[in-house]
């Protein structure tokens, strides 16, 4: 069994080199080196060549850790590719706010009013219908027509929502 003084000396003299050595195989070399020193402490008899023993244990541990990282990364990438996106894609680059405002001004008053009330005011179509003294189906229709016109004038495409099978 190795004494604390000898273990401390080995750590002080060789830990940095062991970390550098392990870094070529894994992204957490400090953990691997720490595990190697723990294994050294648990040995009933100290190895004859403790430094060489540490390098061998660190090498094996780092290779194993690197393989685990690679498998985990591959598995996470596969799962992520199969899953639905969490966020909608951002607006295409080049959408100019002034151009969008100008295009909004060219819409018929009803369409413009519904779009502004819904998008910027946060009102539901039922609430907009009450404000405009119209039916909620009419306000929804004006909204869709206005958005279609804006998309056309601004050259912006909108992904289609998937249809739910009936």
Using alpha carbons, select from 110, 100, 116 the residue that is nearest to residue 150. Answer: 100
- Per-residue pLDDT of 38-76, as tens digits, reads 999 999 998 989 999 999 999 999 999 999 999 999 998
- Per-residue pLDDT of 74-87, as tens digits, reads 998 888 788 766 66
Where are the domain boundaries for CATH 1.10.10.10 in the chain?
Answer: 97-154
Interval 142-147 mean pLDDT: 94
**Phi and psi torsions of 124, nearest 5°:** -80, 165
Using alpha carbons, select from 152, 145, 65, 81 the residue that is nearest to residue 108. Answer: 145
Q: Per-residue confidence at 111, pLDDT binned at 50, 70, 90?
A: very high
Residue 153: alpha-carbon gap to chain centroid: 33
Classify domain 97-154 by CATH number. 1.10.10.10
Contact of 153 with 106, CB cutoff 8 Å:
yes
Q: What is the pLDDT of residue 162?
A: 54
Crossing angle of helices 97-105 and 136-154, in 10° steps, is 130
Kindly give the residue spans of alpha helices, DSSP state H, lying in the chain: 4-22, 29-41, 50-82, 97-105, 109-115, 125-132, 136-154
Distance between CA atoms of residues 136 and 142, nearest Å: 10
Distance between CA atoms of residues 111 and 150, nearest Å: 10
Is the pLDDT reported for residue 4 higher than 90?
no
Q: How many residues does the chain have?
A: 166
Q: What is the pLDDT of residue 55?
A: 94
Report the range of poorest mean pLDDT among 35-44, 97-106, 131-140.
97-106
Q: What is the pLDDT of residue 155?
A: 83
């Amino acid at each position: 069994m190795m004494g604390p003084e000898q273990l401390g000396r080995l750590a002080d003299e060789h830990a940095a080199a062991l970390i550098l050595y392990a870094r070529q195989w894994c992204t957490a070399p400090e953990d691997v080196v720490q595990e190697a020193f723990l294994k050294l402490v648990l040995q009933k008899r100290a190895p004859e060549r403790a430094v060489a023993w540490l390098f061998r244990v660190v090498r094996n541990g780092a290779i194993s850790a690197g393989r685990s990282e690679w498998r985990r990364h591959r598995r996470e990438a596969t799962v992520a590719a199969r899953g639905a996106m969490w966020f909608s894609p951002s607006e295409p680059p080049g959408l100019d706010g002034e151009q969008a405002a100008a295009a909004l001004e060219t819409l018929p008053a009803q369409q413009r009013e519904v779009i502004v009330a819904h998008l910027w005011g946060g009102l539901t179509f039922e609430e907009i219908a009450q404000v405009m003294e119209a039916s909620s189906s009419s306000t929804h229709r004006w909204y869709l027509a206005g958005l279609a016109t804006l998309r056309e004038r601004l050259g912006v495409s909108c992904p289609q929502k998937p249809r739910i099978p009936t």
